[in-house]
Every structure is written in structure tokens, then in C-alpha cells.
């Protein structure tokens, strides 16, 4: 028995695999005005479709749906099959408010009541 597949069949299987990854993934990377679907994500980086991938580098944002998850400094790593891999130089969790530069007491007043 041979494991040889005709080129058309192998290309069709690869296209179906990519389509399934695109549908399954909610993550996207945004660089300026361009948004790309993240096919795979791991602690050290992520990958996007090679056909869609520009030579990204620098500061990008990663979103899960509409939620801003990370702000990252990235560099292009390598091509692996039909995916372009990027590695994080810095990966910082996005927060909705600025960090405090003082300790907030647990029993601190919520508001001040003024006397008139």
C-alpha cells in the first residue's frame, strides 16, 4: 500500500485544514489598520496564514473577538508549511485602566460628602 496522494488531493486537504483553522480561531492580530486571523497561539508566539501574512514586525495588538488581550512586540520567525510564525520579544497583558502608583486601602472611602 502506498501513501502517495495526488497533488490536487493534497492541496484540497490543506485548503480544508486552513479553512477549519480560520473558522475555529477567534484570535486576531491587528497591526495598524490591517487585521489577520491567528491560526495558532502559544506562549512564545503565534502563526498566521502565509498567503495573508505581510512581513510584520514591531508593535501589534492581539484581540479575542472584540476584547483587547495583549500588546506585543514581535519579530517574524520562520515559514512553517503554509503558516508564517512570529515570536514575541515582549508580550504585555492589556488592561482597561491605568495602574495605580499608590496602595489603595481596603476600607478607604468611596466618595467625599461635602457640607453646604
Domain range holding 78?
26-93
Residue bearing the bigger pLDDT, 96 or 87: 87
Q: What share of the chain is helix, strand, coil (3-state, %, to 5)?
A: 15, 45, 40
Kindly report the CATH number assigned to the domain that includes residue 48.
2.40.10.430
Residue bearing the bigger pLDDT, 85 or 103: 85
Determine the average pLDDT of the residues in 36-60.
86
Do the strands 45-49 and 34-42 form a parallel or antiparallel pair, or are they unpaired? antiparallel
- Give pLDDT, residue 96: 77
On whether residue 65 sits in a domain, the answer given is yes
On whether residue 37 sits in a domain, the answer given is yes
**Residue 65: pLDDT over 70:** yes
Amino acid at each position: 500500500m502506498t501513501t502517495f496522494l495526488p497533488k490536487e488531493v493534497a492541496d484540497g486537504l490543506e485548503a480544508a485544514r486552513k479553512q477549519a483553522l480560520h473558522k475555529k480561531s477567534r484570535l486576531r492580530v491587528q497591526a495598524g489598520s490591517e487585521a489577520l486571523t491567528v491560526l495558532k497561539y502559544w506562549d512564545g508566539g503565534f502563526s498566521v496564514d502565509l498567503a495573508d501574512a505581510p512581513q510584520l514586525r514591531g508593535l501589534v495588538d492581539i484581540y479575542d473577538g472584540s476584547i483587547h488581550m495583549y500588546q506585543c512586540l514581535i519579530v517574524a520567525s520562520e515559514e512553517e508549511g503554509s503558516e508564517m510564525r512570529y515570536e514575541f520579544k515582549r508580550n504585555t497583558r492589556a488592561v482597561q485602566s491605568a495602574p495605580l502608583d499608590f496602595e489603595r486601602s481596603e476600607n478607604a472611602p468611596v466618595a467625599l460628602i461635602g457640607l453646604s
